[in-house]
Structures are given as C-alpha cells and as structure tokens.
Amino acid sequence: MINGIDVSHWQLVADWGKVSDAGYRFAFLKATDGMAGTDPSFKVNLPACRRARVLAGAYHFFRPLEPFGAQAEAFLTQAQGVSLAALDLEWTKTAVHEVEDWDQVSADSRMNYVRGWLEQVEAAGVTPVVYTSTAFIQQYLSGADFLSRYPLWIPRYADSAGELPAPWAKWTFWQHSCMGRVEGIVGKVDLNIFDGSEEELRFIFRDPG
C-alpha cells in the first residue's frame, strides 16, 4: 500500500518537495466545485506537485442541483492535462436550502446526473474515480450498478475501510484520516492509501515512470 494526500485551498502546501521526501507518492488536488467554483490553489499546486514527482489527480465536488454537463465542462477546463479525475459525491446542503440538495432530485435523475458527469469526463480521455461513503450511496444512489466500472475512493476515519457500498467489492483509495500532519504542509491534511503496487499506481495515474 502506498501513501498519498488530498488538498484544497484549505491547506497551505509550502513545499511539495518535502511532501515527496516524507514518502507521499500521490495527491488529489481540488479543481472545481459545481459548475462555476474553481479552487484557487489548483493552478499553483499542480505544477509544483509534478516538479516534486508526486503523482497528481484532480477532484470535483458535485452539486446535484446544477447541470452535470456544465459541471463536467468546468472541470475539464480547469484540470487540463490531468489524467485521473475523482468525482466527490457527498451531502451538499447549503444554508439557503431547507432540505438536503440530493433530496430535491429524483432517484432516476440522481443516477442520470452522476452517470452523465462520469461518461462526459471519460469521453474526454480522463479516467474517473468515485469518492463517496457507504452511507451516502445507500441513501442516494442505491442500485447504481454502473458505478462498479470506476475505482472507489472511500473515506473512513478508522482502523479499516469497513463495509463497502454496493456495487463495489474492493476499494482502490482509502481516505483514512483528516487530521494528518505532513512535512511541507501547514496545518492538518487528509491522508490516503492506494491499495496496490508502485507500478499499479503509476498505471492508474498514467505515469510512464
């Protein structure tokens, strides 16, 4: 298993070289949020990450009340040159809404929106990964068998990844802590593990080595 991190504008990465020297081989960088939100740290982190030889993927925070096509296009525009894309599926209730955003979308529409984003990104030549929890899938995307085509990145802050959401039989990435301390990063950071070898990691990130 191989260690990695994920970051957004909430973290200040002062030195990617130190992150690499500390043994972290990959990172997911937040690129976009919905159809209009871009993470201001992405354009700085991506080239710095690559110079330090840390494998870099990007992630998108999905908003179910916004058009999935516009969200996919915003992501692809922001994350040009990235080969691995994580779709972040989690609760999105905002202060202006009385109910959870996902509850305002029908079950069929939820399936179509998520599948649409994944297929649009995949058609652009980028490999999708799905970041989500067992509880979220059980509540909002139960029966979404098409998700099994994509690697699972599961968050669970415990000694194991625990019960996996159907239809997945295994996880590929596991976010096991949100309280990590890593040399080169100011403050706390999410810690992840890749379930595979160095060669398999380079393959999924399309890195020739």
| pLDDT tens for each residue of 28-83 | 999 999 999 999 999 999 999 999 999 999 999 999 999 999 999 999 999 999 99
Task: Please report whether residue 109 resides in a domain.
Answer: yes
Confidence of residue 145 (pLDDT cuts 50, 70, 90): very high
Backbone angles phi, psi at 111, to 5 degrees: -60, -50
191 domain residue, yes or no: yes
Is residue 181 assigned to a domain? Answer: yes
Catalytic residues: 100
146-201 per-position pLDDT tens digit: 999 999 999 999 999 999 999 999 999 999 999 999 999 999 999 999 999 999 99
Residue 39 domain flag: yes
pTM of the model: 0.95
148: tokens are: 């099994």
The pLDDT, as a whole number, for residue 193 is: 98
The answer to the question of residue 61 being in a domain is yes
Residue 209 falls within a domain, yes or no? no
Quick check: is 8 in a domain? yes
Q: Give the integer Cα–Cα distance in Å for 101 and 34.
A: 12
Looking at every residue in the chain, the average pLDDT score rounds to 95
CATH of the domain at 55: 3.20.20.80
Segment 115-142 shows an average pLDDT of 97
Domain count, the chain: 1
Residue 68 resides in a domain: yes
Structural domain boundaries, residue 83: 2-204
Tokens of 140: 């909002």
